Every structure is written in C-alpha cells, then in structure tokens.
Amino acid sequence: TTLSQLFAGAAPEPQPAIGNLFLIAGVALALGAGLHVKAAQLMILSYDILPAGGYPDARAVADWGVGLASQTFSLAFTLAAPFVIASMIYNLALGAINRAMPQLMVSMVGAPALTLGGLALLAVATPLILSVWLQAFDAFLVDPFSGAP
C-alpha cells in the first residue's frame, strides 16, 4: 500500500448506470410505500424485543442470521432467475451453433445479440423485480425475525 491509498478519502466504488438506476428506483419505491415509517417503528419496537442493557441469546441470533442469509440468497436467485435461464439458453444455443460451424467465431457474432437480449430482458423484468423486492422488504420490516427457525 502507498500513502495515497492510506490517506485518500474513502470514495465509493464506481457503479454501472443500471445498478445506480436500480438503487434510485428501490429507494423511491421504499419511500413511496411508506417503508421508512415501518423502519422507524421497527427501531422503536426493538427495545421491546431486546431491552436496553440486555444481551441476546447467541444461539438464537446465530439461527436467525443463518435463516436470514438463506432467505436473502433465495430472494437474490429469484430476482436473477430470468437472467440465469436466458444465459443458459444462450450458452446452449451458442454451443450448438459452434458445433455446427466451428470455423465461425460464434462468441464474437453473438456478443451484440447477448447485450441486446439482456437489456431487453432487463426492461421487461424490471417492474416485476422491483415489486418482488418491495414485497420482500416490506415483509422483513413487518416481521424481521421470520427467518428464525
């Protein structure tokens, strides 16, 4: 490491424009749905769940964390499922075309189609992705300990 890395300001990592769009859309949806009020209520009610000065049961917290991580990965795969399926179909088609015509640089020909298809799928799937995310976020704020066994 150098001094410039140690003493430089902590700048955020660069983010793609589509990721930034999802961030702004998610925040706008959450605020529009009133989830900021539910988040504040959850913080206030957290003192009923865990009084000040008390310690939580370590095993219960570990079980809750594992359940929450499982729910998070499940939600992430659910949101990414259209892209995973489209990618699988694209790669299978690319393999079949490459097998039929080995002299053709299929990946170079298919790259623009992949980009166009991915952006089209994103445009179609974005409303559904955001609504599923909003429902999951709302469900978490209503009952944050539902991931516990």
Phi-psi group of 146: left, alpha or beta (phi > 0 → left; psi -120 to 50 → alpha; rest → beta): alpha
Q: What is the pLDDT of residue 47?
A: 83
pTM score, whole prediction = 0.74
What number is the average pLDDT over the span 4-27? 76
Whether 74 is in a domain gets the answer yes
Determine the structural domain holding residue 45 and report its residue range: 15-142
Average pLDDT over the chain, rounded to an integer: 85
Q: Which residue has the tokens 């991915």?
A: 118
Q: Is residue 147 part of a domain?
A: no
Q: Give the burial class of 51: count Cβ atoms within 10 A of its Cβ; 0-12 exposed, 13-18 middle, 19 or more buried.
A: exposed
Tally of domains in the chain: 1
> Is residue 3 assigned to a domain?
no
Q: Is 67 inside a domain boundary?
A: yes
Is 130 within the bounds of a domain?
yes
pLDDT at residue number 8: 55
Residues 6+ apart with CB under 8 A from 67: 147, 148, 149
Mean pLDDT of 83-96: 92
Q: For 99-114, write each residue's pLDDT tens digit.
A: 888 888 887 878 888 8
**Residue 48 located in a structural domain:** yes
Q: Give 116's pLDDT tier (boundaries 50, 70, 90).
A: very high
Alpha-carbon span 37 to 45, nearest angstrom: 12
* DSSP track, 19-54: HHHHHHHHHHHHHHTTHHHHHHHHHHHHHHHS-TT-
Smallest CA-to-CA distance from 24 within 140, 145, 144, 130 is with 130
- Whether 25 maps to a domain, the answer reads yes
CA 11 to chain centre: 22
Structural domain includes residue 85: yes
The per-residue pLDDT for 127 is: 93
Rounded Cα distance between 99 and 22, Å, is 38
